[in-house]
Structure 1
Amino acid sequence: MDALERLRALCLALPEVTERPSHGEPTWFVRGKKTFVMFADHHHDDRLAFWCAAPPGAQAELVAEDPERFFRPPYVGHRGWLGVYLDVEVDWAEVAEIVADAYRQIAPKSLIARMP
């Protein structure tokens, strides 16, 4: 399974998540409206990654801790969103936690309560 397929499976496993292209990339939405994860296939550089909503402070902490795996994405980085490189060795258990945290930042409490 490639990185996009694995990321897709993680996102679509969450309640009321849909996928559609946005800005030319696969993007996942809560209830078809609010973006929480966006795939970035060399979107603004030569790297494979995804961008996602993140809890307050997470972006700064993770980028400082491991800039080879995490970055501040363009356009949404100023809002605290996190960039995660997928062209390095990926810890998919950690990515699953990051995706779940992104969902929790965007989804209403009623959907968060239904998370697996």
Structure 2
Amino acid sequence: MSHPIMFDDDDPMLARVRDLALALPEAAVKVSHGRPAFFTQKVFCYYGGMPRRESEDEGEGEPRRHDHAIIVKPDPDDEPALRQDRRFWVPKYLGPAGWLGIDLGDDTDWAEVAELLDASYRATAPRRLVRMLDAR
């Protein structure tokens, strides 16, 4: 069973994330579970997602979708502080493995987004590609 597409390819937030993510060495994008996933050999960023119920949407009903968000694997040294930052939420399925989500909007700090993408890339990419990134 294939997943329905859950994004608009003309989304300006997605376009900015795409520009930042695809600027990293040998990064590519594919659709995974109906959403854009940026990867090398492993995924380093998902665009859009849903939180785990216990992190944000306790109670009845469906959890809120985060259509304009990124899900990244932060640097392990930064993860505890990011988990304390109320802007970050724990995504379904990936949260237990250390991934975090953050919503994007008009007030997004795109330098911060670039740093989050860089950290997630470094946590998931082969050492050869991290060396290429460092050599820039």
TM-score normalised to structure 1 length: 0.85
Please give the secondary structure, in 2, of the residue aligned with 1:114. helix
Matching residue of 1:54: 74
Aligned residues: 110
Please give the secondary structure, in 1, of the residue aligned with 2:92. coil
Residue of structure 1 aligned with 2:27, choices 8, 14, 17: 17
**Paired AA for residue 37 in structure 1:** C
Deviation, 1:88, is 5.8
Conserved? CA contact 1:26–1:38, under 8 Å: yes
Change (3 A) 1:87 1:63: farther
Please give the secondary structure, in 1, of the residue aligned with 2:118. helix
Aligned-pair identity (%):
38
TM-score normalised to structure 2 length: 0.74
Q: Distance in 2 between matches of 1:28 and 1:72?
A: 19
Residue of structure 2 aligned with 1:35, choices 38, 43, 49: 43
Deviation, 1:101, is 0.4
Cα deviation code 1:12-68 (max 9, x no counterpart): 0001111010000011111xx31110001xx4323321111112153331131x31x
Q: Distance in 2 between matches of 1:100 and 1:7?
A: 12
CA RMSD of aligned residues (A): 1.7
Q: Distance in 1 between matches of 2:112 and 2:27?
A: 20
Cα deviation code 1:53-86 (max 9, x no counterpart): 112153331131x31x211111111111121111
Q: Distance in 2 between matches of 1:102 and 1:62?
A: 13
Task: Name whichever structure is richer in strand by fraction.
Answer: 1
Q: Distance in 2 between matches of 1:94 and 1:27?
A: 19
Note if 1:8 corresponds to 2:26. Answer: no
The structure having more radius of gyration, on CA atoms, is 2
Residue of structure 2 aligned with 1:63, choices 83, 95, 98: 83
Q: Runs of 5+ in structure 1 lacking a partner?
A: none
Deviation, 1:112, is 0.7
Note if 1:99 corresponds to 2:107. Answer: no
Q: Runs of 5+ in structure 2 lacking a partner?
A: 1-10, 51-63
